[in-house]
Structure 1
Amino acid sequence: MTITTTSKVWLITACSSGFGREMTLAALARGDKVIATARDPKKLTELAARGATTMALDVTSSDEALKRVIAEAVNVYGRIDVLVNNAGYILQGAVEECSTKEIFDQFNTNVFGALAVLRAVLPHMRARRSGVIANMGSIGGWDGHVNAGLYCSSKFALAALSISLKGELEHLGIEVTCIEPGYFRTNFLSSGHRNKAANEIQDYVDATAPVAKGLDAYNKNQPGDPVKGAKVIVEALSGDYGKKLPARLALGSDAVKFIDGIIEKSRTTLEEWAPLVKNTDCEDV
């Protein structure tokens, strides 16, 4: 299929709802081409009707299976300009409550899946010396939270991987960023996207129950508009703002405020402890 040299080709994971859906629509509105994926492509009927190419893609598939899917995706338009690793969910539970399988599944989707997809896409981008990779992180990647320690740690990991990749790929003309949204009014806090650990330990209830109750109350009342957020993401990844993409890109007024608070808190703690901990060098330094 022939496309213009100015339009971009996007591959976005987890497009059946939320940011995946809205990013697909925002990119299509620009005249770009989008390969929208989901584990069940039947859930992408609306996006197909709006002009997206839809494909089945499960980020937890084997490397071999993902390479075949990405090769098929590249063949559609001849290239992939922008990859957005959007698949993810929240595992709710105190750290001790979460089973080994639940922990693995959390990281398998949020971290290992993103890694597997980008590793399948990167050979094609390297060959062209061009591309953008965006991993969908979270403000949870800046601070641990009660009842969501595994989710937060997965987003910490994704941020660190994005920063490392940025340094490795910059000289090859490939940009990398970790987009870190605050709370947007999607279905991310609903059942199916927020999965509760099967084991509940009574000793933790006093700490975890208020958090769960707060998230329930916040569901569908989040401040962020996903349509506006998706538009900013697409414009940023397209280079519309004339700014070099940062390694970590906050999204939402609450995200900016939250991250600023974490940075300030970290600086205060660092300065408090610095006189005690910095005098540990060898005598010959």
Structure 2
Amino acid sequence: MARTWFITGCSSGFGEAIAKAARALGDNVVATSREAAKLGDLAQIGAYTVSLDVNSPQKDIDALVAEAVNKYGSIDILVNNAGYILEGGVEEVSDEEVRAQFDTNVFGQLAVTRAVLPYMRAKKSGVIANMGSIAGWRGGINCGMYCSAKFALIGITEALRKEVEPLGITVVAIEPGYFRTNFLSGGHKVSPKKTIDDLVPVIKPVKDMFAMYNHQQPGDPLKGAQLIVEALTGTGRCADKRLPARLAIGTDAVAMISEVLEDKKKELDDWKDLAITTDLAA
């Protein structure tokens, strides 16, 4: 029986690739973007394409999800993929710019999840995949706000996973490394209006590195999307595997996460003897 996917941010990158891989399985796909007109390729392969801005009022998102459920009978897999990078130093980004980043990358995902969960709870099954990033493991120069949004998403994902697991619903964060998509260019990456001269020597080399790395990333988005689809459906190479709370995708992701875990363990061990002196006396 065909599953039904609801995927946000399908105009390019992972959203588009996941939608195509899901359709290749014969599944129903509700593919969304702020402008459905940009989803012509997905419409041609049978995806149901609709316009959705994840920053819309909750009632509008609820109505669109209800329309999808009315069309296909259920939503079996939700992929929260919509998002963008806000680069810049922590002091450089304005309150307005930071709030816009969180609105799309965190609160927008929450809004879509709230709309879908009642249907999954009713049938006691479903999978919710939040597109995280290796940025959710370590804060980095020039991308502190993007990293912080991904950190927030991980906290939400891990909490929700525990809350709904008894109801037959699985929640996972997909954490890709660098894949050769357009995510480091165009409207997917925005810069703050303000620049602080004192920070230029620290930030400019990282900004230049991002520019040079654009379209030179090691990850193949088609291979990444195929693995994601197999993981979320429990098919192919992922048959009989239990989805982890955090699923790394890419050689660079595995390497970086391993390094972070080792560094954090060393820091904890270095300070352990002092940390444990702060409890109340027995």
Scaled by the length of structure 1, the TM-score of the pair is 0.97
Read off the aligned partner of 1:193 and give its amino acid letter.
H
Please list, as runs of the form range in 1=range in 2, the aligned pairs for 1:195-274 lying within 5 A after superposition: 195-240=190-235, 241=238, 242-274=240-272
SS in 1 for 2:175: strand
How much has 1:191 moved relative to structure 2? 2.1
**Inter-partner Cα distance in structure 1 for 2:253 and 2:134:** 6
**Inter-partner Cα distance in structure 2 for 1:204 and 1:191:** 24
Which residue is 2:97 aligned to?
A: 102
Which residue is 1:191 aligned to?
A: 186
**Inter-partner Cα distance in structure 2 for 1:7 and 1:64:** 28
Which residue is 1:3 aligned to?
A: none
**Inter-partner Cα distance in structure 2 for 1:53 and 1:92:** 33
How much has 1:268 moved relative to structure 2? 0.5
How much has 1:239 moved relative to structure 2? 1.0
SS in 1 for 2:186: coil
Which residue is 1:53 aligned to?
A: 48
How much has 1:280 moved relative to structure 2? 1.1
How much has 1:16 moved relative to structure 2? 0.6
Deviations 1:26-50 (A, max 9, x none): 0000111100000100001110001
Deviations 1:233-266 (A, max 9, x none): 0000001211111111101010000000000000
Please list, as runs of the form range in 1=range in 2, the aligned pairs for 1:46-195 lying within 5 A after superposition: 46-195=41-190
Q: What are structure 1's unaligned runs of at least 5 residues?
A: 1-5
Read off the aligned partner of 2:260 and give its amino acid letter.
I
Asked if residue 283 in structure 1 is aligned to residue 278 in structure 2, the reply is: no
SS in 2 for 1:156: helix
Aligned length: 279
Read off the aligned partner of 2:100 and give its amino acid letter.
D
How much has 1:156 moved relative to structure 2? 0.3
Alpha-carbon RMSD across the aligned residues, in angstroms, is 0.6
Scaled by the length of structure 2, the TM-score of the pair is 0.98
**Inter-partner Cα distance in structure 1 for 2:279 and 2:177:** 40
Which residue is 1:33 aligned to?
A: 28
Which of 12, 23, 28 lines up with 2:18 in the alignment?
A: 23
Deviations 1:94-145 (A, max 9, x none): 0111011100000000000000000010011101111000000000000000
Asked if residue 9 in structure 1 is aligned to residue 4 in structure 2, the reply is: yes
Q: Percent identity?
A: 55
Read off the aligned partner of 1:160 and give its amino acid letter.
G
How much has 1:277 moved relative to structure 2? 1.1
Read off the aligned partner of 1:207 and give its amino acid letter.
V
Structure 1 stretches of 4+ moved >2 Å: none
SS in 2 for 1:96: coil
Read off the aligned partner of 1:176 and give its amino acid letter.
V
Read off the aligned partner of 1:67 and give its amino acid letter.
D
